[in-house]
Amino acid sequence: MTAILETEDTTGATPLEQAAPTSHRGILDFVAEVAALTQPDEIHWCTGSDQEWTELTDFLVSVGTFTRLNPERMPNSFHAASDPIDVARVEDRTYICSVAERDAGPTNNWMAPAEMKARMRGLYDGCMRGRTMYVIPFVMGHLDAERPMFGIEVTDSAYVTASMRVMSRMGTDVLRRMEELEADFVQAVHSVGHPLEPGEADVAWPCNEVKYISQFPEERAIWSFGSGYGGNALLGKKCYALRIASAMARDEGWLAEHMLILKLTSPAGSVKYVAAAFPSACGKTNLAMLEPTIPGWKVETLGDDIAWMRRGEDGRLWAVNPENGFFGVAPGTNWHTNPNAMRTIAKGSSVFTNVALTDDGDVWWEGLENPPAHATSWKGEDWSPDSEELSSHANSRYCTPIRQCDILAPEFDDPRGVPIDAILFGGRRRTTVPLVFESRDWNHGTFLGATLSSETTAAATGAVGVVRRDPMAMLPFIGYNAGDYFGHWVDMGKHADAAKMPRIFYVNWFRRARLEDGGDGGFLWPGFGENSRVLKWVVERIEGEAAAVETPIGHVPTPESLDTDGLEMTAAELEAALAVDADEWRAELPQIEEWFARFGDDLPSVLRDELEGLRARLGA
């Protein structure tokens, strides 16, 4: 660690420069500027080494942020509990600070860059006093990509630094490559906003009631203040890999999407790659690591949250996962719903936040097998199975290295990524949306994505269970005007190689049996590993083998075309899962209309035409 001194040496180099392990001018200037403003006691340049991990985690244990888990159960792993005011992404405090207001509209909060910077400079002023500032050189995607996507996160949180080591490729190798390439990088500033006066004791989870998560898309910069949690603070994730990257992707003709990537191998050995977009906490991680229940099919994982997709020389859309770890929702994860995630976690080297801590130094959460007779809840209170309160926050998370996943596809290491055959959009809907259907073409698929709807979850603060439109599952992550974003999707399909673009499907694992039809209100589809049956239908559609009925909303499987061998499901239940109820869909039309009205003239005419086409097909 380097103390920041006041004076320069005889060469004119500042003490910061003398102590910095780099000569990259842009990095030095950025770090010096942030340090001058935030006034940390020390600066630590991250190497990414095992020793550094040990030092960081030891430090976090010593200050009470981390509790070391029982090494026999969960080696090299830690439990953390956040402040209850800091448990999820804060969408109402998240801003796209583009120069022009229209470039952020209409789905984002906006503030002029100068105004936001003035406001945040005030907050940042001295905000790292009494703390260490960690400098994290990181790359999203591969270090040996044709164009590596670099970032520097400066943060006063050791928790964030340890988590970034799990979630991204970071450290000395990255710094060296940045120097060799004299590379540009995304500037990412993060502070928990909790300076320490001399002698003041720290708290286990420092944060601030005032929070700002600000993106400056034109400058490719991120300023985050006040939160230490997940996507608010691990700035490589949503802030960079989605908000900033989507703006880069618009400018450069590619796609940065909130999608898992999986590899599917059929019994005959044919391989397909699927990307799928669901809103946060709707089962992306489970689908990404699915264990097929149908014989002979194999799923391997490439990513569970973010896909960067570029057109390859062959005209196909190639996807890479820019991340290096999983930041998965813990509750509901168990040996049935996601055995591969359980096996990944069990290897250790993981951080668990806001789950329960058992008396024998293990973690537990709602939905996990074998509830302990007693545990400490995420709020630090005594908990037992008959407690009224939940042991774990609904947005509690495990943070674990992707390389520990037994079913990681070898292509994860290929900087070119994988050619995508199918894109799935999905949400959480009790009614209306069938288990699966295929879009008519790329533009119709774009319309399905643009109108994607889902009931809200605990991944963001706010009411849970309300239906909202979440276009491409990107509502909180589109870094520019959402109308332009839809236009960009339409443009991606306008190409000489349009026929090589992925086919687009829509899925809903969450439809319920209707009481008025004599149903019990429960889920119509068993989900989890059984979703392999839907993936099989998707593959067979692509190969021209699976039958479908053309309905007003798209191509829906015939009941026979879906492999239900061995499934305990009545014909009526299957029919209900696949049903397209014209009345229910007619009721969607005014909602879609209202949604599209928000975009005014910025809505691409193609999408308006798609809505009119749907209306006509529904006879409305």
Enumerate the known binding-site residues for GTP. Answer: 281-286, 397, 428, 528-531
278 contributes a contact to ligand SAT by CB under 6 A: no
Going residue by residue from 110 to 149, which x/- string records binding to ligand SAT, judged by CB under 6 A?
Answer: ----------------------------------------
- Token pair 């973010």 is at which residue? 306
Query: Which of 69, 234 has the CB closer to ligand SAT?
Result: 234
End-to-end CA distance of the chain: 68
Residues forming the annotated binding site? 89, 229-231, 238, 258, 280-286, 305, 395-397, 428, 528-531
Q: From the CB of 108, what's the least distance to ligand SAT, in Å?
A: 15
Answer yes or no: are the C-beta atoms of 330 and 355 closer than 8 Å.
Answer: yes
CB of 366 to ligand SAT, least distance (A): 18
- Fill in the DSSP letter of residue 186: E
| Known binding-site positions for substrate | 89, 229-231, 280, 395-397
Q: Least separation, in Å, of the C-beta of 325 and ligand SAT?
A: 11
Q: DSSP assignment of 544-565, as one string?
A: T-S-EEEETTEEEE-GGGS--T
- Which residues have a Cβ under 8 Å from the Cβ of 556 and sit 6 or more positions away? 434, 436, 437, 548, 549, 578, 580
Contacts (Cβ under 8 Å, ≥6 apart) of 488: 249, 250, 255
Is residue 238 a contact point for ligand SAT (CB under 6 A)?
yes
The nearer residue to ligand SAT, 440 or 469, going by C-beta atoms, is: 469
Q: Smallest distance, Å, CB 234 to ligand SAT?
A: 6
Map tokens 């260490």 to a residue: 132
Pattern of binders to ligand SAT over 320-339, x per CB under 6 A? Answer: -------x------------
Query: Which range, of 91-99, 111-119, 273-281, 370-378, touches Mn ion by CB under 5 A?
Result: 273-281
Q: Does 89 bind ligand SAT (CB under 6 A)?
A: yes
Number of DSSP helices (H) and strands (E) in the chain, helices first: 16, 33
Using the rule CB under 6 A, which residue among 81, 459, 574, 603 binds ligand SAT? 459
Segment lying near ligand SAT (by CB under 6 A), choices 231-239, 336-344, 425-433, 567-575: 231-239
The dihedral sign for the CA sequence 161, 237, 39, 12 = positive
Closest CA to 308 of 184, 114, 149: 149
- Minimum separation from the CB atom of position 232 to ligand SAT (A): 7
Of the candidates 217, 258, 246, 286, which has an alpha carbon nearest to the alpha carbon of residue 89? Answer: 258
Q: How far is CA 540 from the centre of its chain?
A: 29
Residue 237 interacting entry, from Mn ion, ligand SAT, none, C-beta within 5 to 8 Å by type:
ligand SAT
Of 83 and 305, the one with the shorter C-beta distance to Mn ion is 305
Which of 98, 285 has the CB closer to ligand SAT?
285
Q: 57, 155, 187, 280: which one contacts Mn ion (CB under 5 A)?
A: 280
Closest contact distance (angstroms) between CB of 318 and ligand SAT is 23
Q: Does residue 83 touch Mn ion according to CB under 5 A?
A: no
Closer to Mn ion by Cβ: residue 30 or 229: 229
Stretch that binds ligand SAT, among 230-238, 385-393, 555-563, 573-581 (CB under 6 A): 230-238
Q: Is 512:527 a contact under the CB 8 Å cutoff?
A: no
CB of 575 to ligand SAT, least distance (A): 34
Residue 338's nearest CA partner among 395, 289, 401, 293 is: 289
The DSSP secondary-structure symbol of 64 reads: T
Evaluate whether 243 touches 100 at the Cβ level (below 8 Å).
Answer: no
Tokens of residue 553, six digits: 């909303």
Q: Which of 496, 497, 448 is nearest to 472 (CA)?
A: 448
CA atoms within 13 A on the CB side of 300: 17
155 sits near Mn ion (criterion: CB under 5 A): no
Q: Closer CB to Mn ion, residue 20 or residue 405?
A: 405
Per the annotation, binding residues for Mn(2+) are 238, 258, 305
Tokens describing residue 53: 């991990």
Q: Is 465 left (phi over 0), alpha (psi -120 to 50) or beta?
A: left
Residue 283 or 502: the one with the smaller Cβ distance to ligand SAT is 283
Catalytic residue among 97, 127, 207, 282: 282
Question: CB-wise, 397 or 444, nearer to Mn ion?
Answer: 397
Token pair recorded at residue 414: 């290929």
Identify which range of 229-237, 480-488, 555-563, 610-618 contacts ligand SAT by CB under 6 A.
Answer: 229-237
To the query of whether residue 282 is one of the catalytic residues in this protein, the response is yes
Residues 285-344 that bind Mn ion (CB under 5 A): 305
441: left (phi over 0), alpha (psi -120 to 50) or beta: beta
Q: Of the candidates 124, 123, 132, which has an alpha carbon nearest to the alpha carbon of residue 3?
A: 132
Over the window 176 to 215, marking each residue x when it contacts ligand SAT by CB under 6 A and - when it does not, the resulting string is ----------------------------------------
Cβ atoms within 10 A of the Cβ of 121, count?
Answer: 12
Does 472 engage in binding with ligand SAT (CB under 6 A)? no
User: In sequence order, what are the beta bridge partners of 587?
Assistant: none
- CB count within 10 Å of CB 120 equals 24
Name the residue nearer to ligand SAT (CB basis): 81 or 562.
81
Does the bond joining 71 to the residue before it have cis omega, within 30 degrees of 0?
Answer: no
Q: Which does 30 bind (CB under 5 to 8 A by kind): ligand SAT, Mn ion, none?
A: none
State how far the Cα of 536 lies from the Cα of 607, in Å rounded to an integer: 29
Instruction: Confirm or reject binding of residue 66 to ligand SAT (CB under 6 A).
Output: no
The C-alpha atoms of residue 136 and residue 129 are separated, in whole angstroms, by 19
Distance, in Å, from the CA atom of 489 to the CA atom of 3, rounded to the nearest integer, reads 49
If one asks whether residue 303 binds ligand SAT (CB under 6 A), the answer comes out as no
Residue 327 interacts with which of ligand SAT, Mn ion, none, CB < 5 to 8 Å by class? ligand SAT
Site string (405-444) toward ligand SAT, x via CB under 6 A: ----------------------------------------
Residue 153: count other Cβ atoms within 10 Å of its Cβ.
30
Q: Is 108 in the site for ligand SAT (CB under 6 A)?
A: no
Binding site for Mn ion (CB under 5 A): 280, 305
Active-site residue list: 282
Binding site for ligand SAT (CB under 6 A): 89, 230-231, 237-238, 280, 305, 327, 459
